[in-house]
Structure 1
Amino acid sequence: MEAVSNGEKVIRRLYEITKNYDLGFETQIEQILKMGLERFNLDIAILSKIDNNRYVIKHCVVPADVELVSGVELDLDTTYCHITCQANSPIALEYVGKHDQYASHPAYQSFGLESYIGMPIKLNGKLYGTLNFSSPTPYDRKFAAVDIDAIQLMASWIEVEIIRRNQEKRLIDLNLALEKKAYEDSLTLIPNRRAVFKHINADLNRVSREKSNAALAIIDIDLFKNINDTYGHKKGDEVLIKVAESIDNDIRDYDFVARFGGEEFLLWLPNCDMSIATMVCDRIRHNIEALSLCETPITISIGITCFGADMIQKKQAKERVDELILQADKALYKAKDAGRNCIKFYDIA
């Protein structure tokens, strides 16, 4: 009857700890370790991770005079958990010093821990580490079946929770990767057209708050169709990739470049007036012309619109971006009409 009562206490306490996800995983593990110490009346509680033959303490609850903290690494062979992992099941030792097999174990020789109960932690059948409780004094009774049940319950929740957290992390990472792909041009690996509105609109809010200036430019590779027709689409793709790399290398850390479509790139230059925009775009134009990609140099035409905060504050978000793009596009047509391979500005007046 007592064993059943103790088992129920373990289940109830474990439920109280594990149902409260607001505590956070670290606190839940600490409370489980403390629960185990109270249940077994032992002194040292450890959740370890085993990496090759290294025993790494991930979480521990120990007396003040025991020098063990999270992050400490030991050779697995020098720990009782080496026995636990080999046994592939719970190990319960009441008096190691009197045990025929384990009294000579390096762990006993090094640490002198007399009592120990441990359980392997496995994630999808693969060893992760161990949950273990120990003490330098012998256990005052035999570890009972209810003790084995208790450590198995604790270990099972830890296994499930680590798996859940790993899956959650993988899902978050996957979502971030998918989001990145959604805003990334698959060929040049720079932001795509979809990313333009998201980035520029956010930065326009900053421009408005700080009452600063900015510029938006559209860059077009001159006579790009001739490159595809003469050298093939593979060479055309190479040109797009190299041009994107060249632009990206020539801009400031806080500038933004995106592939806007086909052979066009959009350039966003915050904290920028006409003179800075001219300097940046001239550098881009000359460096692209210096690329040795075809028999004749690659040239670009650039249309730029420069503006201040007062010009955008009254516009709706999408309207602001659309209008700026339209202005830069008009300037680009001026550059093409002027014979290409040049920079033209939108005349606000």
Structure 2
Amino acid sequence: MQAAPLPANEAARLSALERYAILDTIEEQAYDDITYLASCICHAPIAAISLVDAQRQWFKSKMGLAAAEMSRDIAFCAHAILSPGEVMVVNDASYDRRFEDNPLVTTDPHARFYAGAPLVTGDGEALGTICVIDLVPRQMADEERMALQALSRQVMAQLELRRHVVELDKLSNLDGLTGIYNRRALDLRLHEEYLRAERMHTPLSYLQIDVDLFKTYNDSYGHLAGDEALRAVAGLLRETARGYDFVARYGGEEFGVILPTTDGQSALDMAERLRMAIERAAWKHRPVTVSIGIATNTPERQAHGLLEQADQALYRAKQQGRNRAIHYAH
């Protein structure tokens, strides 16, 4: 068995595949319909839409196959993507040196005929194939070859549509001023993290952060300077938080930070790091500080309860002189 060599553009190809955010997604009728047409047009009992990842071949849609994925080393499609402009046809795999001892040939499903049309981006990156497999050796008619290529273009049209939707959804979750996540994204993530914490029996903490005396900053230095300060605060929060924390602009001069798997004391420690990072930063006009309210979940506390309790703790932090972090439970 000969594993396919890596394409010369492998790094760019994998980067392109990642942009489509398609791997490990659920079954979708649009793709299943195309797979069905490929099976019917090519008179093949097995058909699939296959994406070739770094180590595996994953099936977005399939007919006649049980596995959701398989090793790239044995994938016929890993060979097909080496020639993006062509349909790769194997008339009898048992007599092809690349595949004669391949487990897909020697064991179930005992593949003999294979045809794969690469799924090619506008930049020429082959992400995978739409392929058909038969259990008997045979030839492929020209009209079948052309139809399979046409179906590969339809798969790419679906993938492009998905990419645009993903990009638009991402933009709808970003704050236009600071570039971090917005309130909509914060609410969605907090709900997801609460459900995960409940399922895994892990703690979850939330920080509500307010820029101290921001109205007087705006009044003194103007709204452009205020916008610049908010962008700087957002950048400091993002740089100081851990990679798995979720930083968002709550609204106005308020920010929210979700701290997964973080208990009360650890949340207080993180809040202090964030507060000190902002206090010690070099500011153009005058020092900028923040007040922080902290809340940590218990098994019975709902996600919206974290928001309410962190807000109450934030109010206490302001009452006690600002530029401090207070935990709701303390």
TM-score w.r.t. length of structure 1: 0.57
Q: Conserved in 2, the CA contact under 8 Å of 1:214 and 1:273?
A: yes
1:229 pairs with 2:211: no
| 2:13 aligned with 1:23 | no
**Structure with greater Cα Rg:** 1
Cα separation, partners in 2 of 1:158 and 1:275, compared to 1, 3 Å? same
Counting only pairs closer than 5 Å after superposition, residues 84-95 of structure 1 correspond to structure 2 as none
Matched, 1:296 2:286: yes
Higher helix share: 1
* Root mean square deviation, CA, Å: 4.1
Q: Deviations over 1:114-147 (max 9, x none)?
A: xxxxxxx9x9xx9999xxxxxxxxxxxxxxxxxx
CA apart distance, 1:264: 0.7
Superimposed CA distance per residue, residues 182-237 of structure 1 (whole angstroms, 9 cap, x where no aligned partner): 22222222221111222112221222233332221100111222333333333322
Q: Distance in 1 between matches of 2:159 and 2:45?
A: 16
Partner of 2:235: 245
The answer to whether the Cα contact below 8 Å between 1:256 and 1:268 also exists between their aligned partners in 2 is: yes
C-alpha distance in structure 1 between counterparts of 2:49 and 2:201, whole Å: 45
Relative to structure 1, is the Cα distance of residues 59 and 265 closer, same or farther in structure 2, using a 3 angstrom cutoff? Answer: farther
C-alpha separation in 2, matches of 1:286 and 1:308: 28
The C-alpha deviation readout for 1:153-204, integer Å capped at 9, x for no partner, is 2343134212211111100111111221222222222221111222112221
Alignment of 1:171-320 (within 5 A): 171-309=161-299, 311-312=300-301, 320=302
Q: TM-score, normalised by structure 2?
A: 0.60
- Structure 2: distance between partners of 1:268 and 1:323: 13
For the structure 1 residues 192 and 15, does the alpha-carbon distance in structure 2 shift closer, same or farther, using more than 3 Å as the test?
closer
**Structure 1 residues 68 and 286, CA, compared in 2 at 3 Å: closer, same or farther?**
same
| Kept after mapping to 2: 8 A contact 1:302/1:344 | yes
Q: Given that residues 212 and 288 in structure 2 are in contact (C-alpha distance below 8 angstroms), is that contact kept between their aligned partners in structure 1?
A: yes
Do the aligned residues in 1 keep the contact of 2:87 with 2:149 (CA within 8 Å)? no
SS at match of 1:201: helix
Matched, 1:341 2:307: no
CA spacing shift, 1:63–1:22, aligned 2, 3 Å: closer
1:46-85 deviation per Cα after TM superposition (whole angstroms, max 9, x unaligned)? 978767xxx878564466565568xxxxxxxxxxxxxxxx
Q: CA deviation at 1:20?
A: 8.1
Aligned to 2:297, the other structure's residue is in SS state: strand
User: Which residue pairs with 2:144 in the alignment?
Assistant: 154
CA distance in 1, matches of 2:203, 2:217: 37
Instruction: Write the deviation string for residues 276-302 of structure 1: whole angstroms up to 9, x where unpaired.
Output: 112111111111122223221110010
Amino acid at match of 2:267: A
CA 275–127 in structure 1, closer or farther in 2 if over 3 Å, else same = closer
Distance 2:43 2:222 in 1: 62
**Other-structure match for 1:329:** 311
Amino acid at match of 1:16: C
Contact 1:303 1:331 in 2 (8 A): yes
